[in-house]
Amino acid sequence: METVEHSLHADLLVVGFGKGGKVTAGTMARLGKRVVVTEQSAEMYGGTCPNVGCVPTKALVHRSRKRRPTDDPQEWYERAVSEVHDITSLFNKGNFDGLDSLDTATVLTGHTEFIGPHTVRVSTADGPVTVEAEHILINTGSKPVIPDVPGLRDSAYLVTSTDLIHRTQLPKRLAVVGGGYLGIEFAAIYRQFGSEVTLFESTSRILDHLDDDVQGVAEKILVDEGIEIVTGANVTAVEDLADGAEVQFMHDGRERTLVVDAVLAAAGRRPATEGLGLAAAGVHVTDRGAVEVDEYLRTSQPHIFALGDVNGGPQFTYVSLDDSRIVLDQLRGEGKRATTDRVAVPRTLFMTPPLAMVGLTEREAREAGYRIKVSSQPVEEIIAMPRAYVVDETRGVMKFVIDLDTDEILGAALLSVDAQELINVVTQAMRHGIKAEQLGEAIYTHPSSTEAFNDVIAAVVRSDA
């Protein structure tokens, strides 16, 4: 029987169901515009964060910390994965229904490929569908990078972060190749579940972008929890054995080996642009495979935008959300909002306690020529923060870098309970010109984590004349 190819016309086509595209699509559909959203996998409605990223990993962080020494690691882990799957399924369905239920919106599931500047072909289960649109958003996100290590790609024991959170079998021995945010978070999660974890980092230390004092506290917390961190390690090969994978690596000039049950590739993520047919659309990509965009997120084709991880910007869901604001301003606003408007974008590493950062480190501020004063205190010494003792989490440090001449906050590193929330307060202060003294003398609820600022900002330990 001859296959009939259906066609649709849309005011807006969104390729990929990530955060920025989803928000833009929903907004335009509620304004009565004809919107089509395509997603390659039915498991990815809503994008990386609610399905295989932020939501499941942070849910695993929480559940790993609730395991008692008497709880069987495998049973506890299997139950945790099942509970997390229930959460992600709920988010997945909610994201699909939230868009597909709108009168002028259609969600198509299947691989999407450009066949022209305004046209794509979607290979759905019911046959191909051609979509022609006035404006197009590329929102396909990113995918894990597999390091070019001999034997790794073909290893039966190789896992990505996505693979790992879908497995119900807890690895007894886990090797993590890569000491960035992803590697550290997963190392901490699986160590708490009961795995023996070895983290390999090729540079001389993990979290090398941090000041030495903050980095030292963070590393000590991880090591004290039983994570073996091997820095300056060059993983040279992975060889499958009958009972696991042998990781071969060079360290301190010696060739060493480690046998594990799983090898997590945690070398970062790269933009997911392969197979999109961008050349047919006349859309340029960078040398690193990201869709090339200007400050308004327009590609080389002015009617096509790229949002989120796929455009090579910071790989954070909240940045993708801000991308949607920029694109919406282009589609229905004044067209003035741009990526260059962003000030003080925070980031958080969800180890326990969390490590949250914004702005400049002390080292970066000095290198930039600022005259600075530094306020820093170990959490256990912050008298105005009894919450840390109440929840039995006194590990960590809080550090502020402040302009000596203007009293403006140049940056902060908060390694403490609730740091992922505290950093947003600091960020708002930086964005709106609130001085360090004002933040330090503000009235906060008690007992809370925020009131730590009353002590920490006043604790200036040194200044540059």
pLDDT digits (tens, 9 = 90+) for 311-330: 999 888 889 999 999 999 99
The number of residues making up the chain comes to: 465
Peptide bond just before 128 cis, omega within 30 deg: no
Task: Let me know whether 335 and 352 are in one domain.
Answer: no
pLDDT band at 123 (very low <50, low <70, confident <90, very high): very high
CATH number at residue 112: 3.50.50.60
Helix H or strand E encompassing 36: strand 35-39
Task: Let me know whether 214 and 181 are in one domain.
Answer: yes
Instruction: Give yes or no for residue 353 having a pLDDT over 60.
Output: yes
pLDDT at 461: 52
In a domain, 151, yes or no: no
The Cα 298–Cα 271 span in angstroms is 16
> Residue 230: left (phi > 0), alpha (psi -120 to 50), or beta?
beta
The mean pLDDT of the chain is 93
Instruction: Give yes or no for residue 112 having a pLDDT over 60.
Output: yes
Task: Let me know whether 91 and 211 are in one domain.
Answer: no
In a domain, 100, yes or no: yes
pLDDT band at 36 (very low <50, low <70, confident <90, very high): very high
Instruction: Give yes or no for residue 281 having a pLDDT over 70.
Output: yes
Task: Let me know whether 180 and 87 are in one domain.
Answer: no
In a domain, 152, yes or no: no
Task: Let me know whether 314 and 456 are in one domain.
Answer: no
Task: Let me know whether 130 and 275 are in one domain.
Answer: yes
Question: Of the candidates 80, 280, 306, 337, which has an alpha carbon nearest to the alpha carbon of residue 190?
Answer: 80
Q: How many Å is the maximal CA-CA distance in the chain?
A: 83
Peptide bond just before 147 cis, omega within 30 deg: no
In a domain, 150, yes or no: no
Task: Let me know whether 194 and 74 are in one domain.
Answer: no
Task: Let me know whether 14 and 111 are in one domain.
Answer: yes
The Cα 342–Cα 115 span in angstroms is 34
pLDDT at 464: 52
The Cα 127–Cα 275 span in angstroms is 18
Decide which of 165 and 444 is more confident. 444
Choice among 161-170, 240-249, 373-382, 428-437 with the minimum mean pLDDT: 161-170
Residues 140/18, Cβ–Cβ less than 8 Å: yes
* DSSP 8-state secondary structure symbol assigned to residue 298: B
Please report the beta strands in 127-253, taking only residues with DSSP state E, as ranges in sequence order: 127-138, 142-144, 158-159, 173-177, 196-201, 228-231, 234-241, 244-251
Of 205, 235, 267, which residue constitutes the final position of a domain? 267
* DSSP 8-state secondary structure symbol assigned to residue 3: P
Task: Let me know whether 95 and 199 are in one domain.
Answer: no
pLDDT band at 363 (very low <50, low <70, confident <90, very high): very high
pLDDT at 68: 87
Of 267, 299, 317, which residue constitutes the final position of a domain? 267
Is residue 446 among the annotated active site residues? yes
Q: Show the domain range for 370.
A: 347-463
Task: Let me know whether 427 and 385 are in one domain.
Answer: yes
In a domain, 149, yes or no: no
Average pLDDT score over residue span 15-20: 92
Total domain count for the chain?
3
Average pLDDT score over residue span 265-279: 94
Q: Which residues contact 287 (CB under 8 A, 6 or more apart)?
A: none
Helix H or strand E encompassing 91: helix 73-100
Q: What percent of the chain has pLDDT over 70?
A: 97
Task: Let me know whether 16 and 131 are in one domain.
Answer: yes
Instruction: Give yes or no for residue 441 having a pLDDT over 90.
Output: yes
Instruction: Give yes or no for residue 21 having a pLDDT over 50.
Output: yes
